[in-house]
């Protein structure tokens, strides 16, 4: 042993004596020990989540693959290792009879994190029957195309955890999987028992009523979503659908209005993230000076005080009515459309005072969305 090695060992031993419970102790034990030594045994038993423990488990399995404790350690703490899928598959096929419910929960979570939801569903079905585990057993079955198993799992979860954190979501899944009459009852349960999820349930109820050939009741349900739960994600989803439908039908102003409502009422929804902005001056929330970069895909979650709502919503509305072919080619066609929008604004400029616009998109006798759309249709692609 040379002097440097001796000094290093002395430092590691000093660390063990003075800080026996510190995470660095795992590294000290690893450096002081070797394969089969008491130090390495202590590493994985005392610090199972430490990277050195994962490394020890991998080395031991290379020498002897039939070591259940090492496989379980990797399943719980080594989800990042390349061979993790093989480890999980071996546990569920070769050691199924030896696994405890907690082991199944560990395996299920690892599968879930890997995005293998079907396998996760099988494992969650054998895990402790918590609200989350039972819900994921159903959801895993659903994503694994085992619809009947999913329905059975959701129903069992609802019976076991009537007021669980995931119960309303399980009811919503059932409303989407069951036949219309039964589905309607599940949606009604959500509306009655879970007020925070009532918007989503009411939107689902409208779809069920459509399936039951009750268009008037379905329309009333959708209107209730917009009126009673205007700031919900369900309202954002409905507005987005209506915007697309109206745009497809040629109702440009109606589509624009739905997009404007998303930007105004549903700023925190995922769909709002798809709405670009346009405005004058600097938008502090996205860090853009609009004359230089007129196209942005950032959401107006924090509207700039220097950007009037009128100006901000112009581009939001325009984006809602753009043809899909334009949206797929932002680098060319969308910039061309921005050019047309500028031309439309220029034509409007002398017809009214911009700061006095009360209805976004209307410039005197001109309807701005329609005008810009017409200019886009008649113009040639920009170089």
pLDDT at residue 148 is higher than 60: yes
pLDDT score of 13: 67
Say which residue, 200 or 381, is predicted with more confidence: 200
pLDDT score of 45: 80
pLDDT at residue 145 is higher than 90: yes
Say what percent of the chain tops pLDDT 90. 48
pLDDT at residue 333 is higher than 50: no
User: What's the DSSP call for residue 306?
Assistant: T
Calpha distance 125→99 (Å, rounded): 13
pLDDT score of 9: 65
Say what percent of the chain tops pLDDT 70. 64
Question: Can you tell me which residue has the tokens 């694994």?
Answer: 144
pLDDT score of 343: 53
Lowest mean pLDDT among 19-23, 82-86, 163-167, 231-235: 19-23
Lowest mean pLDDT among 58-62, 125-129, 278-282, 327-331: 278-282
**Angle at alpha carbon of residue 356, lines to 350 and 362, rounded to 5°:** 65
Calpha distance 314→17 (Å, rounded): 68
> What is the tens place of the pLDDT at every residue in 235-291?
999 998 998 888 888 887 788 788 888 878 887 788 776 665 433 332 223 232 222
Output the CA–CA distances (angstroms, integers) from residue 238 to 18, 110, 226, 235, 265, in the order listed: 62, 35, 8, 5, 12
pLDDT score of 335: 46
How much is the mean pLDDT over the chain? 75
> What is the tens place of the pLDDT at every residue in 347-356?
554 444 333 3
pLDDT at residue 4 is higher than 70: no
pLDDT score of 65: 95
Calpha distance 214→180 (Å, rounded): 12
Tokens of 172: 């919503």
Lowest mean pLDDT among 75-89, 116-130, 218-232, 248-262: 248-262
């Amino acid at each position: 042993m040379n002097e440097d090695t001796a000094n290093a060992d002395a430092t590691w031993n000093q660390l063990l004596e003075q800080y026996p419970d510190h995470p660095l102790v795992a590294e000290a034990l690893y450096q002081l020990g070797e394969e089969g030594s008491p130090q390495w045994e202590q590493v994985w038993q005392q610090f199972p989540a430490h990277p050195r423990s994962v490394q020890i488990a991998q080395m031991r399995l290379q020498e002897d693959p039939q070591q259940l404790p090492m496989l379980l350690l990797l399943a719980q703490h080594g989800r990042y290792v390349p061979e993790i899928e093989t480890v999980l598959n071996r546990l569920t096929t070769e050691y199924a009879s030896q696994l405890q419910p907690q082991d199944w929960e560990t395996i299920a979570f690892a599968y879930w994190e890997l995005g293998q939801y079907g396998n996760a569903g099988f494992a969650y079905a054998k895990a402790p029957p918590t609200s989350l585990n039972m819900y994921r057993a159903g959801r895993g079955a659903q994503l694994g195309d085992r619809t009947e198993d999913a329905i059975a799992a959701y129903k069992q979860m609802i019976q076991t955890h009537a007021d669980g954190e995931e119960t309303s979501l399980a009811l919503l899944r059932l409303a989407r999987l069951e036949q219309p009459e039964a589905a309607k009852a599940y949606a009604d349960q959500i509306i009655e028992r879970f007020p925070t999820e009532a918007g989503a349930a009411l939107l689902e109820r409208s779809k069920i009523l459509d399936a039951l050939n009750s268009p008037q009741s379905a329309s009333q349900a959708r209107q209730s979503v917009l009126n009673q739960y205007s700031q919900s994600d369900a309202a954002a989803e409905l507005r987005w659908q209506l915007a697309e439908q109206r745009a497809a039908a040629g109702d440009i102003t109606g589509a624009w209005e739905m997009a404007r409502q998303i930007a105004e009422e549903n700023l925190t929804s995922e769909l709002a993230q798809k709405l670009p902005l346009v405005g004058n001056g600097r938008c502090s929330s996205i860090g853009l000076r609009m004359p230089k970069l007129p196209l942005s895909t950032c959401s107006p979650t924090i509207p700039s005080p220097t950007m009037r709502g009128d100006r901000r919503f112009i581009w939001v509305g325009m984006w809602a009515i753009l043809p899909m072919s334009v949206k797929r080619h932002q680098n060319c066609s969308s910039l061309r459309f921005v050019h047309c929008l500028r031309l439309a604004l220029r034509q409007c400029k002398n017809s009214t005072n911009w700061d006095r616009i009360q209805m976004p998109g209307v410039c005197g006798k001109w309807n701005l969305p329609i005008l810009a759309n017409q200019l886009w249709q008649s113009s040639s692609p920009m170089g």
